[in-house]
């Protein structure tokens, strides 16, 4: 039988991630191939596959990337996952998780310069949340904060170093042609964004 091929060329995130997740959860294949033409989608798919126990070898073609995916770890069934969850140490209560959503370079309207200064101060103050700060999500113009030379980059990197997960929208990076300029955080997709907002006990929008 020929190897399964997922042709995700032309699909923007989270399309490729959703297709890979569907195949893994429904079929748990030992190996399969994924074709991608979007850099942001590739980062997101690689992160998903690694988390699901698969190793990946890549091959570049003129108009796409080919991922050769091989299972290297056991993929738990829903029942096994439930048992593992029940026996695992208790995690922090969900209502203590704080997700921060940042959708622009500045805070408020009226002055871009003032908005930028407020954002810098906002990021500098977030450590006051302590371990409650779970994720910082950057979308739309907010992704610029994570790029080379931005005044807020150092503060954002400090948050990541202190344990907060910084998620940077891959579709947004691609739109602004900033994929190569990203210096901190994980490239993410709308599935991760929605999940983060849903699971958070509190959401702060800057």
pLDDT (tens digit per residue) in 132-159: 999 999 999 999 999 999 999 999 999 9
Same domain, 31 and 132: no
pLDDT (tens digit per residue) in 194-205: 989 999 999 999
Average confidence (pLDDT) over 93-122: 91
For residues 42 and 30, give the distance between their C-alpha atoms in angstroms, rounded to a whole number: 20
CATH number of the domain that 47 lies in? 3.30.110.40
Q: Considering the domain boundaries, does residue 77 fall inside one?
A: no
What pLDDT was estimated at residue 146? 97
Local confidence band at 76 (pLDDT 50, 70, 90 cut-offs)? low
> Residue 53 burial (CB < 10 Å; 0-12/13-18/19+)?
middle
Give the domain range for residue 195: 94-205
Tally the domains of the chain: 2
* Angle at 202 (CA atoms; ends 197, 203), nearest 5 degrees: 55
Q: Considering the domain boundaries, does residue 65 fall inside one?
A: yes
CATH number of the domain that 198 lies in? 3.40.1260.10
Same domain, 191 and 157: yes
Least confidently predicted of 12-21, 48-57, 124-133: 12-21
Q: Considering the domain boundaries, does residue 76 fall inside one?
A: no
Q: Considering the domain boundaries, does residue 85 fall inside one?
A: no
Q: Considering the domain boundaries, does residue 86 fall inside one?
A: no
For the whole prediction, is pTM greater than 0.85?
A: no
Local confidence band at 93 (pLDDT 50, 70, 90 cut-offs)? low
Q: Considering the domain boundaries, does residue 101 fall inside one?
A: yes
Q: Considering the domain boundaries, does residue 87 fall inside one?
A: no
Whether the CA torsion 76, 79, 84, 90 is positive or negative: it is: positive
Same domain, 56 and 108: no
């Amino acid at each position: 039988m020929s190897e399964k091929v997922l042709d995700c060329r032309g699909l923007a995130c989270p399309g490729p991630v959703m297709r890979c997740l569907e195949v893994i959860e429904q079929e748990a294949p030992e190996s399969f191939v994924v074709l991608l033409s979007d850099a942001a989608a590739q980062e997101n798919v690689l992160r998903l596959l690694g988390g699901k126990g698969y190793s990946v070898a890549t091959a570049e073609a003129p108009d796409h990337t080919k991922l050769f995916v091989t299972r290297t770890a056991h993929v738990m069934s829903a029942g096994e996952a439930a048992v593992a969850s029940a026996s695992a140490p208790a995690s922090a209560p969900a209502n203590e998780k704080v997700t921060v959503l940042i959708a622009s370079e500045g805070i408020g309207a009226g002055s871009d310069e003032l908005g930028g200064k407020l954002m810098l101060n906002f990021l500098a103050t977030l450590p006051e949340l302590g371990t409650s700060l779970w994720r910082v999500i950057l979308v739309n113009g907010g992704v610029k904060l994570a790029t080379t030379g931005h005044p807020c980059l150092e503060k954002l990197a400090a948050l990541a170093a202190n344990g907060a997960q910084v998620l940077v929208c891959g579709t947004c990076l691609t739109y602004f042609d900033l994929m190569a300029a990203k210096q901190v955080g994980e490239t993410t997709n709308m599935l991760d964004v929605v999940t983060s907002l849903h699971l958070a006990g509190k959401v702060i929008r800057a």
